[in-house]
């Protein structure tokens, strides 16, 4: 947890109380403010140990050595082909939910290139809730993506669901995506930590921001520091939208971590008409990019068509940046 102390705090009293309760802590001065880091997320316990009058603000973040901005003040910039993710550039990643066939993917690649998309997406291994839904083209889907990426000189991103296919991913894609359902598949994360490719890590729909950062730390701790975080919405009690797109997490993540943060308004809302406004909102809270489900014939997309937009719509988003 990160605790901003106010100017009138009694530091020796705070240190004494933390020591007396055997709490490990670290104190840093950030932007002329005293910030206390403790590996404890229990607010009530902390409130008992530290005099509330000394506390200006509390942020529930563990002191993670690799992901936090505290230990790495500059933005991490990730380069794939001719594209930069993070820093002062904004990126648009777009493409279909699933790779359907080579011809369709070629037409999509062509449109994507023409309207200025930076990275082409396409799911080859689809984690579907219903086991009878289209599951993707598996390795053949990855080969198609590689061909189209080469043809239009576009970096490719696709989701890995099983480490057994890692070699094929390494051969065919430029960024490996870890989907919401695998955010805490620690064995998978550790293996991806040994890979020399950027990893886009999606937030699980039931996971906190701290848990997302812990998962990023798993990858980084194993040696791969090229991690991109992705907010894709959290479980919602509402029925109109598929998820609640938590844009407050983007503002928080941009403050506490140096890693690039991307927003996926497609899975985050499940609604085609919300993609443009939520993309604009994402950029205004500091997102480094958006990940969009787009298709040449959105209504005919084999999966997630209700949230899939046309490339005319993608172009509007690119122009709005």
Question: Using CB under 6 A as the criterion, which residues of the chain lie in contact with ligand PEP when the complex forms?
Answer: 97, 123, 127, 159, 179-181, 202, 232, 264, 267
Q: How far is the CB of 97 from ligand PEP (least distance, A)?
A: 6
Any idea which residue has 């082909």 for tokens?
81
Whether 262 and 289 have beta carbons less than 8 Å apart is answered as: yes
User: Which backbone phi and psi does 248 adopt, to 5 degrees?
Assistant: -65, -30
Whether 197 and 175 have beta carbons less than 8 Å apart is answered as: yes
- The CA distance from 171 to 186, in Å, is 23
- Note whether 97 binds Mn ion by CB under 5 A: yes
For strand 199-202 and strand 83-85, is the pairing parallel, antiparallel, or unpaired?
Answer: unpaired
Q: How far is CA 107 from CA 27, 91, 296, in A?
A: 55, 21, 7
Question: Between residues 168 and 242, which has the closer beta carbon with respect to Mn ion?
Answer: 242
Q: How far is the CB of 135 from ligand PEP (least distance, A)?
A: 12
The one of Mn ion, ligand PEP, none whose footprint includes residue 232, by CB under 5 to 8 A per kind, is ligand PEP
- What single DSSP character describes residue 234? B
Question: Between residues 72 and 181, which has the closer beta carbon with respect to ligand PEP?
Answer: 181
Q: How far is the CB of 293 from Mn ion (least distance, A)?
A: 5
- Note whether 292 binds Mn ion by CB under 5 A: no
Task: Tell me the residue nearest to ligand PEP as measured from the CB.
Answer: 179
Buried b (16+ CB within 10 A) or exposed e, 157-172: bbbbbeeebbebbeeb
- The CA distance from 76 to 181, in Å, is 25
- Please identify, among the stretches 95-103, 131-139, 185-193, 195-203, the one whose residues bind Mn ion according to the rule CB under 5 A: 95-103
Question: Between residues 54 and 205, which has the closer beta carbon with respect to ligand PEP?
Answer: 205
Among 159, 225, 304, 313, binds Mn ion (CB under 5 A): 304
Q: What residues pair up with 119 in beta bridges, in sequence order?
A: 93
Question: Between residues 129 and 239, which has the closer beta carbon with respect to ligand PEP?
Answer: 129
The one of ligand PEP, Mn ion, none whose footprint includes residue 109, by CB under 5 to 8 A per kind, is none
Under the rule (CB under 5 A), what is the footprint of Mn ion? 97, 304
């Amino acid at each position: 947890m990160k605790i901003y102390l106010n100017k009138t705090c009694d530091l020796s009293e705070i240190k004494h109380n933390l020591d007396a309760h055997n709490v490990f802590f670290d104190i840093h001065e950030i932007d002329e403010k005293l910030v206390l880091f403790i590996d404890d997320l229990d607010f009530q316990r902390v409130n008992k140990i530290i005099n509330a009058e000394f506390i200006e603000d509390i942020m529930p973040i563990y002191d993670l050595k690799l992901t936090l901005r505290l230990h790495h003040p500059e933005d991490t910039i990730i380069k794939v082909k001719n594209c930069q993710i993070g820093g002062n550039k904004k990126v648009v990643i777009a493409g279909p939910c699933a790779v359907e066939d080579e011809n369709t993917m070629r037409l999509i690649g062509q449109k994507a290139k023409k309207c200025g998309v930076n990275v082409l997406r396409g799911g080859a291994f689809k984690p579907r809730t219903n086991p009878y839904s289209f599951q993707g083209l598996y390795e053949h889907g990855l080969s198609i993506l590689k061909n189209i990426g080469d043809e239009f000189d576009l970096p490719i991103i696709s989701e890995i669901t099983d480490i057994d296919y890692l070699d094929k991913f390494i051969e065919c894609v430029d960024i490996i995506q870890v989907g919401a359902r695998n955010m805490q598949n620690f064995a998978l994360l550790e293996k991806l930590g040994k890979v020399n490719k950027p990893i886009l890590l999606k937030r699980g729909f039931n996971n906190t921001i701290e848990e997302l950062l812990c998962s990023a730390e798993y990858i980084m701790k194993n040696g791969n520091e090229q991690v991109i975080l992705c907010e894709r919405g959290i479980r919602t009690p509402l029925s109109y939208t598929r998820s609640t797109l938590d844009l407050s997490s983007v503002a928080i993540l941009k403050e506490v971590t140096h890693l690039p943060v991307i927003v996926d308004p497609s899975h985050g809302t499940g609604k085609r008409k919300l993609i443009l406004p939520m993309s604009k909102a994402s950029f205004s809270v500091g997102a480094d990019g958006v990940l969009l489900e787009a298709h040449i014939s959105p209504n005919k997309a084999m999966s997630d068509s209700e949230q899939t937009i046309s490339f005319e719509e993608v172009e509007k988003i690119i122009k709005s940046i």
